[in-house]
Structure 1
Amino acid sequence: MTDAEILPAELRRDRIRGRLDSRGYVRVADIARDFAVSSVTARTDLDALVEAGVARRVHGGAVAAGAVPESPVEQSVQTGMESKRAIGRRAASLVDSGQSVFLDVGSTALAVAEALVERTELHDVVVITNGLSTALALEPGLPRLTVYVTGGALRPLQHSLVNPMGQQLIGSVHADVAILGCNGVDVEAGITNVNLPEAEIKRAMVEASDRVVITADASKLGRVTLGHVAVLSDVETIVTDAAADVELVAELRQAGARVELAGDL
């Protein structure tokens, strides 16, 4: 039986598009398995969706063409506030006195910053951030916390500092742990971010740290966006919330990732 006899291409592609709409990402391997077609046919289906303007190819599959638009941090912080606070507290609990920390940008980074400030027993902690909002959120923790801002070109929306010059400080130091946000966590695609300039800074932080902790609410699991940050094996811990899909969590753990659910403290 040929691929074409199993399911008409038009119907198969409609179903693949449905997956893109619901998850934001599809894998070649999953299409081949679930629709009983060859990898060549699966790639041809994705190419057809790209030509139709509904998908964008990435390594191992495709993402929805309009997946995960960037929004202002002031807007994002109001979405899923309690989950982000729980994730922030969980991630902050992984920091010990005397350690150095990379902390990036975004609404979940703000929650981590606030949780670090709340931990009044912490002392001699150095935090290096490329986020102006993150730095201001850490200010009440001075002088128990020492805060360095990377410098660089200012981006709107997230109030982040990126290249040129954004990596100069990062390249000259080494941190015990990097606590980073993202827009996507996927078994095959790894950790991704919606914009390339910030993904570049996140990659530099990964390379310059001993441990990597990824903070990602449930909506980020199983998604892939444009900018690659890290492969899953680079990550020590993924902190998500109790609403995380149990199957996605199981897949990540089976792939070797340590996944912690906020609220389990």
Structure 2
Amino acid sequence: MIVDALKDYGRVRIDDLVKSVGVSAVTIRNDLAQLEQAHLLRRVRGGAIAAFTSRHDGDDGLSMPTRLKEKERIVSAAVEMIRDGETMFMSSGSTADLLAANIPSMIKDLVVVTNSINVARILAGHSGVTVIVTGGTLRPKSNSLVSPLGDVLLREINADLALLSASGVHETRGFTNSSWAEAEVTKAMVRAAKRVVFMADYTKINHIASARIVELGRADTLITNKAAPADFMKAARQKGLEIVAT
């Protein structure tokens, strides 16, 4: 709840948290200390301020386990969009890894083009999937292949579907990524796909990362959670973006 409040308001006060949660100030201070150690906030006099920056990708060790169910629901919706006989782009990220692990065994003829070493390794064991790796420069943090040379192969491929991840999704700034190099590869996938679908759990909504990918209207669909802000979903739909809320 503290993390969500910081995402919405940028700052929280201990007194307000005590009243809204119904616990002691000591408990709140302990929680703030743990969150600060995880680099999710910075404590200030009387409360805390958000530590999320434009290069924060949201996939830290503390938040991932608490969001696993949300990501699983997103992946379930994404799996329904996959069809035999198609060529599909997949970008890197924890949601992409989960998606790769859940592509049904009934799929017999799917080509997956990815810049993710993790995705390629996972799909290597799927007999119905042909994996093409983009090539490029290894980005160790995400175990992905990026520019320079990360988008060269993508210029030669036309895909039916792109299932992509983003670090942030915002009404006016669109889909963004914490890595400029990663964003360039994702842009190339968007340009070469007939249908573009982004996957982002509710914590990514209204976050603006440093590298812009595309505006909301350039994508066809966003798969997110029902916990995503209602005002954002309304505004996004008005821009022509289909929202699948899981």
The TM-score by the shorter chain falls in which range? 0.7 to 0.9
* Map of 2:98 onto structure 1: 111
**Inter-partner Cα distance in structure 2 for 1:133 and 1:90:** 21
- Please state whether the residue corresponding to 1:78 is helix, strand or coil: helix
**Correspondence for 1:139 among 94, 115, 124:** 124
Long gaps (5+) in structure 1: 1-17, 25-63
CA RMSD of aligned residues (A): 2.5
Amino acid at match of 2:121: L
**Inter-partner Cα distance in structure 2 for 1:213 and 1:65:** 25
**Inter-partner Cα distance in structure 2 for 1:150 and 1:224:** 27
* Map of 2:89 onto structure 1: 102
Amino acid at match of 1:251: A
**Inter-partner Cα distance in structure 1 for 2:235 and 2:158:** 31
Long gaps (5+) in structure 2: 12-50
- Please state whether the residue corresponding to 1:140 is helix, strand or coil: coil
**Correspondence for 1:128 among 108, 113, 117:** 113
Amino acid at match of 1:96: R
Change (3 A) 1:106 1:95: same
**Inter-partner Cα distance in structure 2 for 1:19 and 1:248:** 17
Which structure 2 residues correspond to residues 3-18 of structure 1 after superposition, within 5 A? none
Change (3 A) 1:70 1:241: closer
**Correspondence for 1:81 among 44, 47, 68:** 68
1:160 maps onto 2:144 in alignment: yes
1:196 maps onto 2:180 in alignment: yes
Q: TM-score, normalised by structure 2?
A: 0.75
Q: What CA deviation, in whole Å up to 9, does each residue of 1:177-200 have, x standing for no partner?
A: 111100111221111111100000
Amino acid at match of 2:87: S
Deviation at 1:74, TM superposition (A): 7.2
**Inter-partner Cα distance in structure 2 for 1:187 and 1:135:** 32
**Correspondence for 1:256 among 237, 240, 245:** 240
Which structure 2 residues correspond to residues 202-217 of structure 1 after superposition, within 5 A? 202-217=186-201
- The alignment covers a number of residue pairs equal to 204
Contact 1:76–1:107 at 8 Å: present in 2 too?
Answer: no
Which structure 2 residues correspond to residues 226-241 of structure 1 after superposition, within 5 A? 226-241=210-225
**Inter-partner Cα distance in structure 2 for 1:72 and 1:156:** 15
Amino acid at match of 1:135: A
Q: What CA deviation, in whole Å up to 9, does each residue of 1:70-101 have, x standing for no partner?
A: 47787775351111111112112111110110
Q: TM-score, normalised by structure 1?
A: 0.70
1:221 maps onto 2:205 in alignment: yes
**Inter-partner Cα distance in structure 1 for 2:163 and 2:10:** 25
**Inter-partner Cα distance in structure 1 for 2:132 and 2:75:** 20
- Please state whether the residue corresponding to 2:157 is helix, strand or coil: coil
Amino acid at match of 2:240: G
Deviation at 1:247, TM superposition (A): 2.1
The farther-off stretch of 225-234 and 66-75 is 66-75
Change (3 A) 1:140 1:232: same
Percent identity (aligned): 33
Q: What CA deviation, in whole Å up to 9, does each residue of 1:215-243 have, x standing for no partner?
A: 00001112211111111121011000122
Change (3 A) 1:254 1:188: same
Q: What CA deviation, in whole Å up to 9, does each residue of 1:134-178 have, x standing for no partner?
A: 11122221x201111111111122101011221121111111011
Change (3 A) 1:219 1:68: farther
